[in-house]
């Protein structure tokens, strides 16, 4: 197939060249700079930045929905405007600043807008804010004397047709919404106001006059969507709500279709490359390993293994996603696939997102293999292979030895972080790539590792985060999916309890007592915090924490460093307590984790570095401080660190969130079930779409803006079908419009990956 190069390939169509025009070429550099916080850099970006909602000349915003701290734009009617502390001719020196207080209403409630400035400006603003005038008021919602207000907002005054007739500045633009019955309120950032966005959108629309639609006519007909230029105009300058909806529907379809066409092209591209078949050979390393297993595989593990083995026998590369419940045995399935490839003469690479997780995999795999991991040493069993670890913090001597074993083929399994992508890491015959925690990697990292093989290697992607089907279609559409739902026998039950630290402080003390009791029985415990120190923010280790809910004024999150000192000098003073977090040197992190895994530590105070990959079957208690700061999937992952052996576990979710908050609803959902797939659906319903996809999957500018993967599952499925038809008809993407659609997605993803690396 023809390979689309996102760096070297020029745009094939005039439409995409014009959409890719830098915004400063159309609106000027000063204005374009204001759009950057919104990730709007081109004309195309601006066209796809659509109003949150539209207002007619008589419709008003609901002021009761405003929340403190929000940047908002509201449509409201002026009740009155009064001046204070204006000097008269006999008194030019007053102690207080001159100010104007305007009251605006939605005919249900009222809101005060406070302005400060020179007397001349205040008089001008008062002349604009006449009783009965309607306008858009934009600014930050603050609280003063217990009441919400807009402090010094920008505003424009509109006539009954939605045209701008005045505003906060003498030079206010009269272009926005002129002659348009509907006024759009856009998402804003900084000092960029909704009417400025409307003005710029009008200029951008003019620059796109006469563009051709990149979608084939038959696709537009099958999808029942409007042509592109009319759709842009319908979104930014609608004549009524029906027209605006028609435009949004086209842009929603475009988002779904662009992703699905790119995924379909990637699937076809992968299928067009040759891979070395890796047929399982009896009597080799895999059989020797299976004989060592002290347990039977689950039915799910057997079924998924057969899917993988079938893929490995083919002459085109496997592209498979292995998702499974916490503790379902994904690592075992992946290891057996790696051993099958080694038996067939190849090597396997395991790519992990963090050094802690890479080290954990190295320890787990070498422990599971035992003497079968001693390949290349004297006295090694007949079928043994070498297992090496390569990370950024590896010493020079260790790295030289590991890279030598990888290059010569002595090491059949090479485990590492992004360090595996370095130019000095080479393989004798790379046959299989296993990527763990795929949501933290982009397609480009997979491709960079694949480039180290002579023929395309097979790829197995693992994730412990259960993924709803609609998300899987969107994010992992280039992969076939295998699912492990069955938990191996012998795993213990885990009881989860929400503890309200405000109203149930005694429960917290009981939690520490429970840890002491469990340690007395020979067990271990985790205590997880949302931040490292009192000077850091939640998520310092790089996690995407859920945040406290509903804009509640929550106390600062408990810091791991502070709690560590409190516990080891207080309720857990008699126990062996250690701490681990992402800012510790790798050697220290590994040492702490190693001591905990070996049972030399009773309690581990940690951030979410223990979220994945940590396997300590002896741990039976987990206390998660400020649990409302975490998302559902994170809580499920953290809880999965206990109950991994035969000992029943208890997970305490400590929170200050009120029972009515959405954060408390998240916690209640986690307590109600251990089914990660059910929790994934709840998680998806509550989180923003961009959070679900993650920047590493979608790129900084291709994150979903209009598409909602739960609501739009049918649209995504339709787009997937049409995209596949396009690739079936034109596998080389000779259609210039379709080629540019894929190129646009790939450029975003490649640019974002280069930026992160």
State the DSSP code for 531: B
Greatest mean pLDDT among 374-383, 558-567, 739-748 lies in 558-567
Tell me the C-alpha distance between 180 and 197, whole Å: 15
Question: 739 — alpha (psi -120 to 50), left (phi > 0) or beta?
Answer: alpha
Residues 6+ apart with CB under 8 A from 562: 533, 534
Tell me the C-alpha distance between 99 and 452, whole Å: 67
In this predicted model, what pLDDT tens digit does every residue of 485-521 receive, in sequence order?
877 666 678 999 999 998 888 999 999 999 999 999 9
Tell me the C-alpha distance between 361 and 373, whole Å: 13
Q: Under CATH, to which class is 494-674 assigned?
A: alpha beta
Do 743 and 9 contact (CB within 8 A), yes or no? yes
Q: Look up the CATH superfamily of 285-484.
A: P-loop containing nucleotide triphosphate hydrolases (3.40.50.300)
Which of these ranges, 206-215, 237-246, 641-650, has the smallest mean pLDDT?
641-650
In this predicted model, what pLDDT tens digit does every residue of 664-678 receive, in sequence order?
888 999 999 888 878
pTM value?
0.70
Tell me the C-alpha distance between 190 and 562, whole Å: 35
Tell me the C-alpha distance between 48 and 19, whole Å: 10
Is residue 699 predicted with pLDDT exceeding 90?
Answer: no
Contacts 24+ apart (CB under 8 A), 175-179: 175/199, 175/202, 176/202, 177/237
Q: What is the rounded average pLDDT of the residues 657-664?
A: 85
In this predicted model, what pLDDT tens digit does every residue of 43-67 receive, in sequence order?
999 999 999 888 776 678 889 888 8
In this predicted model, what pLDDT tens digit does every residue of 215-228 receive, in sequence order?
999 999 999 999 99
What band does 176 get if pLDDT is binned at 50, 70 and 90? very low
Return the pLDDT at 580: 93
Architecture of domain 53-185 in this structure: Beta Barrel (2.40)
- Alpha helices, DSSP H, located in 451-537: 469-475, 505-520
Q: Which of 574, 580, 593 is nearest to 517 (CA)?
A: 574
Q: Of all residues in the chain, what percent carry a pLDDT higher than 90?
A: 46
Return the pLDDT at 745: 86
267 membership: H or E segment, kind and range: helix 241-272
Counted residue by residue, the chain has a size of: 757
Which of these ranges, 13-22, 359-368, 471-480, 685-694, has the smallest mean pLDDT?
685-694
In this predicted model, what pLDDT tens digit does every residue of 113-154 receive, in sequence order?
999 888 888 888 999 999 999 888 888 899 888 889 998 888
Is residue 696 predicted with pLDDT exceeding 50?
Answer: no
What band does 702 get if pLDDT is binned at 50, 70 and 90? very low
What band does 524 get if pLDDT is binned at 50, 70 and 90? very high
Instruction: Please compute Rg for the chain using Cα positions.
Output: 30
In this predicted model, what pLDDT tens digit does every residue of 331-344 receive, in sequence order?
899 999 999 999 99
Using the Cα atoms of residue 482, residue 485, residue 491 and residue 496 in order, give the sign of their dihedral. positive
Do 80 and 103 contact (CB within 8 A), yes or no? yes
For the chain, give the mean pLDDT: 84
What band does 631 get if pLDDT is binned at 50, 70 and 90? confident
Which of these ranges, 29-33, 122-126, 558-562, has the smallest mean pLDDT?
122-126
Tell me the C-alpha distance between 492 and 641, whole Å: 12
Greatest mean pLDDT among 112-121, 169-178, 211-220 lies in 211-220
Is residue 4 predicted with pLDDT exceeding 70?
Answer: no
Return the pLDDT at 348: 96
Q: Which of 679, 680, 701 is nearest to 690 (CA)?
A: 701
Is residue 33 predicted with pLDDT exceeding 70?
Answer: yes
Q: What is the rounded average pLDDT of the residues 723-738?
A: 95
- Per domain, the residue ranges of the chain are 53-185, 285-484, 494-674
What band does 16 get if pLDDT is binned at 50, 70 and 90? very high
Tell me the C-alpha distance between 290 and 305, whole Å: 13
- Do the first three CATH levels of 285-484 and 494-674 match, i.e. the same topology? yes
Return the pLDDT at 543: 40
Tell me the C-alpha distance between 715 and 249, whole Å: 10
Residues 6+ apart with CB under 8 A from 538: 530, 531, 545, 547, 557, 626, 629
Looking at per-residue pLDDT, the higher value among 644 and 316 belongs to 316
Tell me the C-alpha distance between 528 and 559, whole Å: 9
């Amino acid at each position: 197939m023809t390979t689309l190069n996102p760096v070297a390939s020029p745009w094939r169509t005039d439409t995409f060249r014009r959409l890719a025009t830098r915004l400063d070429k159309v609106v000027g550099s000063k204005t374009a700079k204001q759009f950057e916080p919104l990730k709007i850099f081109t004309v195309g970006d601006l066209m796809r930045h659509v109003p949150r909602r539209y207002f007619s000349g008589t419709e008003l915003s609901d002021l009761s929905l405003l929340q403190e701290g929000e940047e908002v734009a509201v449509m409201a009617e002026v009740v009155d405007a009064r001046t204070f502390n204006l000097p008269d001719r006999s008194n030019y020196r007053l102690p207080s600043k001159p100010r104007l207080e305007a009251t605006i209403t939605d005919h249900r409630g009222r809101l005060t807008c406070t302005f400060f400035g020179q007397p001349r400006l205040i008089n001008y603003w008062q002349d604009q804010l006449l009783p009965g005038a309607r306008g858009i008021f934009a600014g930050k919602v603050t609280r003063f004397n217990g009441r919400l207000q807009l402090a010094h907002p920008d505003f424009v005054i509109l006539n009954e047709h939605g045209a701008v007739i005045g505003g906060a500045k003498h030079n206010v633009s009269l272009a926005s919404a002129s002659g348009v019955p509907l006024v759009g309120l856009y998402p804003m950032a900084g000092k960029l106001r909704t009417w400025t966005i409307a003005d710029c959108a009008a200029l951008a629309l003019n620059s796109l006059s006469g563009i051709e639609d990149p979608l084939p006519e038959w696709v537009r007909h099958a999808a029942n969507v409007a042509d592109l230029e009319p759709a842009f105009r319908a979104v930014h300058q609608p004549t009524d709500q029906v027209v605006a909806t028609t435009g949004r529907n086209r842009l929603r379809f475009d988002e779904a279709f662009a992703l699905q066409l790119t995924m379909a092209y990637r699937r076809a591209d992968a299928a067009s490359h040759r891979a070395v078949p890796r047929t399982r050979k009896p009597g080799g390393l895999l059989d020797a390993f299976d004989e060592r297993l002290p347990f039977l595989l689950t039915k799910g593990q057997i079924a998924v293994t057969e899917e993988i083995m079938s893929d490995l026998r083919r002459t085109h590369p496997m592209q498979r996603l292995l998702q499974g419940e916490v503790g379902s045995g994904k690592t075992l399935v992946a290891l057996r696939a790696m051993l099958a490839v080694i038996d067939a003469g190849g090597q396997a690479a395991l790519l992990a997102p963090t050094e802690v997780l890479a080290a954990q995999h190295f320890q787990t795999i070498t422990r599971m293999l035992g003497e079968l991991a001693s390949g290349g040493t004297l006295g090694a069993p007949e079928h043994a292979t070498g297992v090496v670890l390569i990370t950024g913090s590896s010493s020079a001597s260790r790295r030289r030895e590991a890279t030598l074993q990888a290059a010569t083929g002595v090491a059949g399994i090479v485990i590492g972080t992004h360090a595996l992508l370095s130019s000095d890491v080479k393989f004798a015959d790379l046959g299989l790539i296993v990527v763990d925690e795929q949501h933290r990697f982009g397609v480009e990292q997979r491709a960079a590792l694949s480039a180290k093989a002579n023929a395309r290697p097979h790829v197995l992607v693992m994730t412990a985060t259960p993924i709803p089907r609609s998300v899987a279609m969107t994010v992992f559409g280039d992969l076939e999916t295998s699912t492990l739902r069955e938990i191996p026998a012998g795993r213990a039950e885990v009881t989860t309890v929400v503890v309200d630290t405000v109203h149930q402080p005694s429960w917290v003390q009981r939690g520490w007592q429970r840890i002491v009791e469990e340690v007395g029985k020979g067990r271990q415990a985790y205590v997880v915090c949302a931040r490292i120190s009192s000077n850091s923010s939640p998520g310092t280790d790089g996690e995407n924490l859920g945040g406290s809910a509903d804009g509640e004024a929550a106390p600062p999150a408990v810091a791991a460093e502070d709690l560590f000192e409190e516990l080891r000098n207080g309720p857990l003073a008699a126990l062996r307590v250690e701490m681990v977090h992402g800012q510790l040197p790798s050697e220290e992190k590994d040492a702490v984790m190693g001591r905990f895994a070996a049972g030399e530590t009773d309690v581990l105070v940690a951030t979410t570095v223990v979220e994945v990959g940590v396997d300590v079957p002896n741990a039976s208690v987990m206390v998660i401080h400020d649990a409302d700061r975490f998302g559902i999937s994170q809580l499920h992952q953290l809880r999965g660190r206990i109950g991994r052996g035969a000992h029943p576990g208890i997970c305490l979710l400590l929170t200050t969130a009120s029972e009515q908050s959405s954060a408390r609803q998240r916690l209640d959902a986690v307590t109600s079930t251990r089914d990660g797939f059910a929790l994934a659906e709840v998680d998806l319903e509550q989180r923003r779409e961009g959070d679900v996809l993650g920047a590493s999957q979608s790129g900084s500018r291709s994150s979903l803006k209009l598409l909602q993967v739960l609501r739009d599952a049918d649209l995504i499925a339709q787009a997937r079908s049409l995209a596949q038809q396009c690739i079936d008809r034109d596998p080389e993407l000779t259609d210039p419009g379709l080629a540019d659609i894929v190129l646009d997605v790939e450029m975003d993803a490649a640019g974002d990956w280069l930026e992160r690396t």
